[in-house]
Amino acid sequence: MKCRYGVSALTAFVLFSLWVLSPAPAKEQGTQPPNGKTRHDAIMPFDIDAKAALLSEPETGAVLYAKNPDQPLPPASITKIMTLLLAFEAMQEGLASWDDLILVSKNAWRMGGAQMFLEINQEVSFGDLLTGISVISANDACIAVAEHLAGSEAFFVQRMNERAAKLGMSNTRFQNTTGLPVEDHYMSARDIAILAREVVLKHPKLLELEAMREFTFNNIRQFNRNPLLGRYPGADGLKTGWTKEAGYSLVGTARQGEVRLISVVLDTAGTAVRSNVSRQLLDYGFRNFVMREALSPGDILGHLPVSKGKERTVAVTVDKPLRAILPSGRERDIEVLKNVNGDLRAPIRQGEKVGTVQIVVQNNPVAIGDIVTVSKVEKAGLFTRFFRAIGDFFKGIWTAIFGSS
């Protein structure tokens, strides 16, 4: 009799515990890239006549070709992409506008090299200054923009370096807004591609300026020096650079069909060489790679267990389309790796983030996104949870005795 009472008490205790604490779901295992990075440098399939180079696809950030990508080198006028980025971000934040009138200072007027030929105390619109920097690489306009936004070029350069750090440009140091030769002023090909990607993805108006073939100011007509414009299919930017120390450099970008590419070539021997190697890189990318959508919102990645919910599982999908740029003919090499949070507990909102997903090609992460719930899951009432716990308890006993069928 005592034994019977003891078993009954034990059973009651177990049922009460199951009622209060329903079983936690098991975790679905996945793999994450080291440090959350998705970068991969393609093995060089050929060499080009440049000290450093990089070819990338901006949507995914995939690197398709790299030669000495992290070597710091003088960037010359490629520096001005950062000057322009900060100017466009200032407009975006309401700190400046296209029609602002800027009074030209003596510092701006005295700048040599490429210029708009600004006059001291001349009033020039902010938009004209940005156009002059974009199309004719005007040094005097860079100073006028910097002084308008920060009070002096020195303070503006400080902002340039801060912005570079936030973008992850780890091999970049600015000393001026123009790229004119000065000690300890450098960028790497990878950092330039990061900067160009920010412009391409977030500031299409700036890209429109860079695509202009000519600009007339003060009745002086000047032409864009980018050799790709009007000569390479889909080319619409981005910036040339030259000084004796830097050699001939070019950041080019072109779009063909669904694919945009960014090419960076640094320190070539002449204008013809930088044009040819830029074309060579872009041709390689457009001819040998394709863009494919690996996952779309609505694609069900699985069903995750939910504790204390009216429904015991919830379907999950991705929050946005995940695309990957792949070598032609390698579309079947796409792998999907999931890493989901454990211990999902109701209530759960529709669209709630519950993990991450990676698109991997040949063991290289090429895209990453969030895993979200397809529907909401409300919390179950005590009555439902009680009888569910009883059912789970006896199911566990049955499985322990007879095994699963």
Question: Above pLDDT 90, what percent of the chain?
Answer: 66
Tell me the average pLDDT across 332-350: 85
Nearest alpha carbon to residue 40 among 307, 361, 315: 361
> How does pLDDT run across 133-164, given as a tens digit for each residue?
999 999 999 999 999 999 999 999 999 999 99
Active site residue 137: yes
Mean pLDDT of the chain: 86
For residues 128 and 144, what is the distance between their CA atoms, to the nearest angstrom? 11
Q: Residue 393: pLDDT above 80?
A: no
Cβ-based neighbours of 378, under 8 Å, separated by 6 or more: 309, 310, 346, 347
Residue of higher predicted confidence among 96 and 307: 96
Catalytic one among 22, 51, 56, 77? 77
Catalytic one among 22, 56, 137, 278? 137
DSSP 37-101: ----PPP-SS--SSSEEEEEETTTTEEEEEESTT--B--GGGGHHHHHHHHHHHHHTTS--TT-E
For residues 237 and 251, what is the distance between their CA atoms, to the nearest angstrom? 8
Active site residue 328: no
> How does pLDDT run across 353-375, given as a tens digit for each residue?
999 998 887 777 878 899 999 99
Max intra-chain CA distance, the chain: 110
> How does pLDDT run across 263-322, given as a tens digit for each residue?
999 999 999 999 999 999 999 999 999 998 889 999 999 898 888 777 878 899 999 999
Strand partners, 302: 316
Confidence of residue 343 (pLDDT cuts 50, 70, 90): confident
Active site residue 244: no
What's the pLDDT at 11? 40
CA 34 to chain centre: 17
Residue of higher predicted confidence among 194 and 301: 194
What's the pLDDT at 35? 33
Q: Please answer whether residues 49 and 269 qualify as being in contact, where contact means their C-beta atoms are separated by less than 8 angstroms.
A: yes
Parallel, antiparallel or unpaired: strands 214-217 and 259-268? unpaired
For the chain, state the CA radius of gyration: 29
Question: What's the pTM?
Answer: 0.80
For residues 1 and 228, what is the distance between their CA atoms, to the nearest angstrom? 95
Catalytic one among 51, 67, 80, 308? 80
Q: How far is CA 258 from CA 2, 57, 291, in A?
A: 78, 11, 7
Min mean pLDDT across 63-72, 286-295, 312-321, 391-400 is at 391-400
Residue with tokens 């919830």: 314
For residues 158 and 176, what is the distance between their CA atoms, to the nearest angstrom? 9
Q: Residue 22: pLDDT above 50?
A: no
Instruction: Spell out the domains of the chain, with CATH numbers in brackets.
Output: 23-38+294-392 (2.60.410.10), 52-268 (3.40.710.10)
